Structure 1
Amino acid sequence: MSFTSTVKKRLLRAQVTSIEQLLALNERELRSRSNIGPKTVSDINKALAKAGLSLAADPYEPYECARDAKVVRDADLRSYFLCDQCRDDYAERAFGERSPIWVSGERIDGYCGHCNELQVVRLSQWFLCGTCDRVVRSLGRGRASVKFVESSWAEISPPGLSLRETDPVELRPRGRRSDVDRVAQADFMADGVSGEAVLGVELKSGRRALPGGGVGEPMPRFQLDTTDCDDITAAAEALNVPVFLIHAQIIGRAHAPTERYVGVGLWFARPWDMLQHREAVKQRSLEARDAAYFKTKMFRPFAEFPAYVKDELGADLESMRQVGFPDLY
């Protein structure tokens, strides 16, 4: 074996005296020996590879996150109830053609964790890190919030405005979405009777209510990442229309062993009301990013939106034409 003299000396000092002894060790065990550091391990791996050999596999090595395509320490086996179509979409579109580690043979009548439809579902498992797991589990709630907004809009029929979704909720490979795509679109556009874009809608959803509706105790203040505020501003400027913030309260209801998501409250905020209701901008707890905190008074029940469109929207559109989109925080 063509090890350098330095590698040979370090292996001897680490009491590794034969190639058989070396090959019985994995990288973690080798690095635990004195005098064996990352560069020495790298040199050993290169020499072994040239000879068609390798160190032993580590039974405790971290798993690779299917969405990140990286080995990460917090990647664990995560389980989701999915219909066949959504499971295939996850594997092909978001997990780099990685099939589930395991799929249950038992078929259950329940709610799919992605499309939130009552379907025949099966338990499917992938290795995912904690961040990607949270993203995956948020998708069913996000899809439910989109349908809730669409049905609520149809019920109240804001005068002269038709709604269309422009940024669908879908699972993407991590890091694949460009900054241009991220900031230039609102979640919905509302078009006038002649087809021109009149306003945009940025949708946020959560478990908590706001004052004047919903289910349960209302949240004391509304939190929005400053990057989300910047995205709203960038979309408004790129589209040359105001972008409104809508909050949907989405709660889970058991349909054991699955869960369905239901919309129970909806509110809107004028962008012109946000800055005057801002309380603070500070770093979020346990996260290295800033958030703006707003008084919940800036929101109105969505049922009041038709009256706003009829009586106030024209003046707000003129204001934007005159002085531009307002600062949000």
Structure 2
Amino acid sequence: MKQFLVRLTARSGREAGGAVEFRGSGVSFARAVEKKLLRAQVTSVEQLLALNERELRSLPDIGPVTVSSVIATLAEAGLSLAADPYEAYECARHSDVARDAELRSYFLCNSCRDAYAQLAFGARSPEWVSSERVEGYCGHCNELRVVRLSQWFLCGTCDRVVRSLGRGLASAKFVESVWADTFRGTSELSLRETDPVELRPRGRRSDVDRVSTADFVADDASGKAVLGIELKSGRSALAGDGIGNTMPQFQLDTTDCDDITAAAITLNVPVFLVHAQVIGRAHAPTERYEGVGLWFARPWDMLQHLEAVRRRPRETRDAAYFKTAMFRPFAEFPAYMKDQFWADFESMRRDGFPLLYQR
């Protein structure tokens, strides 16, 4: 492309309405933008088009407003800045560029891979799928199947969320299994999952249309709800059961506490906090999730075990920090149901659901 020199004086015949054109280019910049480009030694359209947005931003006296003006003006003329070979990738889950987005790898069976693409990643196919098929555990459904390594560009936050889904599904199945074993032949309570783990794009559910509900509801023989369960899972154990070191504190987002309260009010039954310890066991090159411990906390015990409410490190959310002594092994739940639950139930009907935390 030939050089298109800037004419800054009215004698050039190119100045009109406070704007200056690059001769012959059809591109017209406002005087202030033109001066900034000149001071940055950008004197031609050819030179400007050789720059990418990052390089343009790095020039002296060129800020975001100037860059936006340049991009808009070039677009009107059907032109654009050069592509940046080091630009940030776009996260497949929230469909926006993110500096920490990178290729994230997951061993998935065919059905879960399709579900990821359609339900969580905006119908995007993986960036790469291995041609090698191996027998192993799917990172989502946690079933022993033929799996392949699949990759998408995801930011760190979305990667953590996606990886937590398989653990969440495994913990829900673990709770159902423990419940069945614990209450076999001793109770008519049946457990049903009411808020299952779902694949969805980031931000799909807003705070406005969000409905607080327990993860599980236990019904009596007539089908009437008796209690709810809010399930949290992690790698760490609590005292009296589980595997490995016990966690020193139990952290729960204040929004989760509020959801428990809202669910209890909606259902008009007590909602209990349950923690499942779910660990990974290697089945090279994959990993299997296995539940190894389960505990419950009465909502009436939470406030007295509250230690602090503070902002989570490196996050914008507040969390309530509880002493782990508020939890009991789930093996004690049948005895609690027999000896204490109905008194607690009546106290809730009389006094309302207990306060879980206070700032």
**TM-score normalised per structure 1:** 0.96
2:27 counterpart of 1:7: no
Q: Find 1:98's aligned residue among 114, 118, 124.
A: 124
Deviation at 1:180, TM superposition (A): 5.7
AA matched with 1:270: R
Please name the residue that 1:178 is paired with: 206
What is the distance in 1 between the residues matched to 2:209 and 2:291? 27
Aligned match of 2:226 in 198, 205, 214?
Answer: 198
Shifted more, 274-283 versus 87-96: the winner is 274-283
One-letter code aligned to 2:222? S
Matched, 1:285 2:313: yes
Distance change in 2, residues 1:156/1:61 (3 Å)? same
Q: Secondary structure at the match of 2:29?
A: coil
Do residues 159 (structure 1) and 187 (structure 2) align?
yes
In the alignment, structure 1 residue 187 sits paired with structure 2 residue 215:
yes
Q: Give the match for residue 108 of structure 2.
A: 82
* Structure 1 unaligned blocks of 5 or more: none
The corresponding residue for 2:150 is 124
Count of aligned residue pairs for this structure pair: 329
1:66 to 92, 112, 122: 92
Per the TM alignment, residue 42 of structure 1 is displaced from its structure 2 partner at its CA by 1.9
Does residue 1:276 correspond to 2:304, yes or no?
yes
Any idea what SS the aligned residue of 2:223 has?
coil
Aligned partners of 1:314 and 1:271: how far apart in 2? 14
Partner residue of 2:283 out of 242, 250, 255: 255
Q: Which residue of 1 aligns with 2:13?
A: none
* 1:230-269 paired onto structure 2 within 5 Å: 230-269=258-297
**Could you tell me which residue of structure 1 aligns to residue 59 of structure 2?**
33
User: Structure 2 length normalisation: TM-score?
Assistant: 0.88
Give the match's secondary structure for 2:147. Answer: strand
Q: 1:35 & 1:116 partners in 2: Cα distance?
A: 54
Give the corresponding residue for 1:21.
47
How many Å separate the matches in 1 of 2:316 and 2:208? 23
Q: Structure 1 vs Structure 2: percent identity of aligned residues?
A: 77
Q: More displaced, 68-77 or 275-284?
A: 275-284
- In terms of mean alpha carbon deviation, does 165-174 or 44-53 score higher? 44-53
Would you say 1:311 and 2:326 are equivalent positions? no
* CA distance, structure 1, for counterparts of residue 207 and residue 63 of structure 2: 39
For each residue in 1:133-182, what CA deviation from the matched residue of structure 2 results, as whole angstroms up to 9, or x when unmatched?
11111111111100100000111116121000011112221111133664
Q: Deviations over 1:285-312 (max 9, x none)?
A: 3333222222222211111111221222
Q: Within the alignment, does 1:52 sit opposite 2:54 as a pair? A: no
C-alpha distance in 2 between matches for 1:255 and 1:269: 33
Shift of 1:37: 2.3
Across the aligned residues of Structure 1 and Structure 2, the Cα RMSD in angstroms comes to: 1.5
Write the distance in 2 (CA, Å) between the matches of 1:241 and 1:263: 27
Moved more, 246-255 or 178-187: 178-187
Structure 2 match to 1:208: 236
Structure 2 CA distance for aligned equivalents of residues 181 and 187 of structure 1: 17
Structure 1 residue 133 and structure 2 residue 149: aligned? no
Task: Report what 1:300 is aligned to.
Answer: 328
* Matching of residue 145 in structure 1 with residue 164 in structure 2: no
Q: Describe the SS at the equivalent of 1:138.
A: helix
Aligned equivalents of 1:316, 1:33: Cα separation in 2 = 68
> Residue deviations 1:69-117, cap 9 Å, x none?
1111111111111111111111111111121111111111111111111
Bigger drift between 79-88 and 272-281 goes to: 272-281
Q: What is aligned with 2:196?
A: 168
Q: Please say which structure displays the higher CA radius of gyration.
A: 2
Q: Aligned partner of 1:230: which letter?
A: D
How far, CA to CA, are the matches of 2:40 and 2:220 in structure 1?
76
* Higher RCO (CA < 8 A, seq sep 6+): 1
How far the C-alpha of 1:183 sits from its partner, in A, is: 4.9
Instruction: Quote the Cα distance in structure 1 between the aligned partners of 2:102 and 2:314.
Output: 21
The 3-state SS of whatever aligns with 1:189 is: strand
Which of these residues, 211, 214, 217, is aligned with residue 245 of structure 2? 217
Aligned counterparts of 1:26 and 1:306: Cα–Cα separation in 2: 66
